[in-house]
Amino acid sequence: MLSPSRGPERLVRAGQWAIAVLFAWFLIQVGASLIADLPLLSRAPQAAQFRPVVALQAVQNRLEPLQEQVRRLQEQLEALNRRREVVQETLRRERQSFETWRATRAATAQSDQNPEVLQRARQLDARLEQDRLLAEDQRQLEQRQQQLQGRLAPLRRQQAELERRGEQAYARALRRHEWIAFLIRLGFVLPVLALALHLFRRRRGGEQWPFVWGFLLFSLYAFFVELVPYLPSFGAYIRYGIGALLTYLGGRALMRWLRAYLRRKQSEQQAPQQDRLQQIRYERALQTLARRQCPSCERFLCSGEAPMPDFCMHCGLRIQTHCRVCDHHQPVFYPYCSACGAASELHTSQPDAAAGEDAPSAALG
Ligand SMILES: [Zn+2]
Ligand SMILES: [Zn+2]
């Protein structure tokens, strides 16, 4: 029975939305390039910048000769070990040979070989003495190595401490950089957001509404894409704290708007019938009536194909009326009678009725 929106007006509205989206897109590109070019945002601190290079080099210069000494001692120790192994192996073989020889001699009871016994025993003693001396050398080398390690330990601790301080300085610089980057973004996004909200509250109904909506879309993009991901990432409480604050502010604004909306609706319903009818936009009236809802209180009027009531049973708004010329029964919002074409009472009493044929388009925007 009622078409919710007419062809040409739908086209105009689509065009206006296209302008809004295109406007937002270009603004987003400009904003993104602008932010990317801000000098402080593109230069992050590097870890290498914060290593105390000079102090570390000084420690390294003291460490290196000591490490070289340790290395040489180690080599000496290894050579010594190899020599001891050879000596011990020889000793073992000589001792075995001596035992065999002595056993043979006891069996044959040759007593004239005493000088040879003594000589071989002396030889074994000398071999043992050689091993003892090598063991002594080894002990001394190990002692020196331990002393050197004792001198190396504080230097190594100093080195680790210097590295640790460098890392701490880097972490601090990184945090500071994150904060500065965030504050710069905030300084950019906050005025944009404030201006967008201001425009939206004051100008969204005007002729320039596609630009207002475009700017609002741009500011929302800037907020969610250029600002929120750059909330300083350290300490989850900061991120969630800011989130909670924003939710609080946004939620408060939304609740205030909802209360104002409710008050507006209530005052609308208390206004005189003619004023109420004139406040309802033509397009909106057609849409709500097509859904079989009251254009003012938005409650259901009737179901299915049942005839539309003359008045809203919930808020008392006039819904249907009779043509004053031919008495045809039709919705009060129609600007012309569908039977005789006479301009409706509501239509002729509207201030912009003089616009004649263009009158319905005044309801746009
Ligand atoms: Zn109603
Ligand atoms: Zn008529």
**DSSP secondary structure string for all residues of 216-283:** HHHHHHIIIIIIGGGS--SSHHHHHHHHHHHHHHHHHHHHHHHHHHHHHHHHHHHS-HHHHHHHS-HH
* Alpha carbon of 268 to ligand 2 centroid (Å): 29
* Residues 329/315, Cβ–Cβ less than 8 Å: no
d(CA 322, CA 63): 106
Tokens linked to 102: 């002595």
Beta-strand (E) ranges in the chain?
320-322, 329-331
* Alpha carbon of 297 to ligand 1 centroid (Å): 4
Residues near ion ligand 2 (CB < 5 Å) are: 323, 325-326, 328, 337, 339-340, 342
* Residues 19/211, Cβ–Cβ less than 8 Å: yes
d(CA 357, CA 52): 82
* Alpha carbon of 53 to ligand 1 centroid (Å): 79
At residue 89, the pLDDT reads 93
Q: Collapsing DSSP states into helix, strand and coil, what is residue 57? A: helix
* Alpha carbon of 324 to ligand 2 centroid (Å): 7
Cβ of 334: how many Cβ atoms within 10 Å? 21
* Alpha carbon of 188 to ligand 1 centroid (Å): 45
* Ligand (nearest to CA of 338): 2
Per domain, the residue ranges of the chain are 47-177, 235-270, 273-363
pLDDT digits (tens, 9 = 90+) for 85-109: 999 999 999 889 888 888 887 777 6
* Alpha carbon of 3 to ligand 1 centroid (Å): 20
* Residues 73/141, Cβ–Cβ less than 8 Å: yes
At residue 360, the pLDDT reads 40
Instruction: For residue 300, list its beta bridge partners.
Output: 293
d(CA 50, CA 258): 54
Cβ of 319: how many Cβ atoms within 10 Å? 21
* Alpha carbon of 10 to ligand 2 centroid (Å): 27
With respect to CATH, is domain 47-177 assigned 1.20.120?
A: no
d(CA 182, CA 178): 6
Residues of the chain with confidence (pLDDT) below 70 = 1-7, 40-42, 109-113, 233-239, 349-365
* Ligand (nearest to CA of 309): 1
Tokens linked to 335: 């600007």
At residue 233, the pLDDT reads 65
At residue 235, the pLDDT reads 53
* Alpha carbon of 336 to ligand 1 centroid (Å): 23
* Ligand (nearest to CA of 301): 1
* Alpha carbon of 361 to ligand 2 centroid (Å): 22
Q: How many angstroms from the chain centroid is the CA of residue 292?
A: 46
